[in-house]
Amino acid sequence: MIFTQLIKENLKTQFIGRELEYKSFTDSTNSDIWKLVSDNKAKNGTLIITDDQRKGKGRRENTWISSPEKNLSFSFLLIPQLENTKFGLLSLLSGVGMCEGIEQSCGIVCKLKWPNDILIKNKKVGGILIETKEINN
């Protein structure tokens, strides 16, 4: 069980996660975010989180499954103020940021395996998938 109010109270972000939705299970948090976008119900920083994802997306059409109470999957909407040519940097910056966050908050050294795997002691503990879509320019 994830306590969204506890998360919100302890966030130190300006906008990511301020709009937060917990799903006890979902097919895909990315699909959930895009549904909110298509319904004009998503704000910049909207976060959807689950510990039971059944049809998440991985690279090369692979699925990313999160078993209940054993994993954490989430997606957030970022509306960057970047030129389209710089969107490719988001994946690299996200991975570096995740590893720095893990090291600072947990004291655990992690590494990145290109392009999107987070490794601790050479074992994959997470992955990052970034999807971009152009909507109304």
Q: What share of the chain has pLDDT > 70, as a percent?
A: 99
pTM equals: 0.82
Q: How far apart are alpha carbons 81 and 52 in whole angstroms?
A: 32
Report the pLDDT value the prediction gives residue 137, as an integer from 0 to 100.
Answer: 66
Residue 6 has pLDDT above 90, yes or no: no
Name the strands in the sheet holding 123-127, side by side, starting at the edge strand that comes first in the sequence. 111-113, 117-120, 123-127
Average pLDDT score over the chain: 87
